[in-house]
Amino acid sequence: ETGVTQSPTHLIKTRGQQVTLRCSSQSGHNTVSWYQQALGQGPQFIFQYYREEENGRGNFPPRFSGLQFPNYSSELNVNALELDDSALYLCASSPWEGEAFFGQGTRLTVV
């Protein structure tokens, strides 16, 4: 039990649609990061938020965007979905220094 919960657990969307994934972090964890894990690969960093500000971004296009809220919840938004966006999306929270705790992930399928 990591204290990080994600919703929904599974989602099917059509190409071109928009999707919002949600994460509830551990209380007191100021940092939240989002990762994309494609089949057979390790998680790839999308972006990180620290105290509601974006604190860094991986090699993902602008149609991937996020928000972090004061109540330790956060969102990942993806616009104009593509088939290659099908993956497991992981949210991870951490104090400013320390290991990241992951949620169980949201499995997104784009058809």
Partner 1 sequence: DQQVKQNSPSLSVQEGRISILNCDYTNSMFDYFLWYKKYPAEGPTFLISISSIKDKNEDGRFTVFLNKSAKHLSLHIVPSQPGDSAVYFCAASVRDYKLSFGAGTTVTVRA
Binding site for partner 1 (CB under 8 A): 2, 4, 6, 33, 35, 40-45, 48, 56, 58, 90, 92, 94, 96-105
Nearer to partner 1, 14 or 40 (CB): 40
Q: Is residue 9 within 8 Å of 104, Cβ to Cβ? A: yes
**Residue 111 burial by Cβ neighbours in a 10 Å radius (0-12, 13-18, 19+):** exposed
How far from chain centre, in Å, is Cα 37? 10
Nearer to partner 1, 15 or 51 (CB): 51
DSSP string of 65-77, one letter each residue? EEEE-TTSEEEEE
Nearer to partner 1, 18 or 52 (CB): 52
Least distance to partner 1, CB of residue 8, Å: 13
Least distance to partner 1, CB of residue 97, Å: 5
